Chain A
Amino acid sequence: MATQETYTGRSVRPVGNMCWEKDGKVMLRLDMPGVDKDNVDIRIENDQLIIHGTRAKEEEEKNYVLRERRRGDFHQVFTIDETVDRENVDAHMEKGVLTLTLNMQEEVKPRKVEVKAG
Chain B
Amino acid sequence: MNLTNWRRGLDPVGELSRLQNDINQLFDYDYTGNGGLFDRTVSPALDVTEDTDNFTVYMDLPGVEEKNVDVSIASNVLTIKGTKELPEIGEEAKIYRQEEWEGSFQRTLSLPQSVDTQKVSAKLTNGVLTVVLPKREEVKPKQIKVDVSK
Given A16-B99, A29-B100, A95-B64; A21-B93 close (CB under 8 Å): yes
The DSSP consensus for interface residues of chain B is: loop
Residues of A68-97 contacting chain B, CB below 8 A = 68-70, 76-81, 83-84, 95-97
Please state if A66 and B47 are interface contacts (CB–CB under 8 Å).
Answer: yes
Distance of A22 Cα from B56 Cα, bound (Å): 41
Contacts of B25 in A (CB 8 A): 70
**Could you list which residues of chain B lie within 8 angstroms of chain A, going by C-beta atoms?**
1-6, 8-9, 14, 21, 25, 28-29, 31, 45-51, 55, 58-65, 86-87, 89-90, 92-101, 124, 126-128
Please tell me the number of chain A residues within 8 Å of chain B, measured between CB atoms.
42
Q: Is the interface of A mostly helix, strand, loop or mixed?
A: strand
| 14 further contact pairs, Cβ within 8 A, besides A20-B96, A83-B2 | A4-B9, A16-B31, A16-B62, A16-B99, A16-B101, A21-B1, A22-B89, A29-B100, A31-B60, A33-B60, A79-B5, A80-B2, A95-B64, A97-B62
Contact with B along A5-39 (1 / 0, CB 8 A): 01000100001111111100011010111111000
In the bound complex, residues from chain A placing their C-beta under 8 Å from that of B64 are: 95
Given A65-B55, A67-B47, A70-B31, A95 and B97 touching (CB < 8 A)?
no
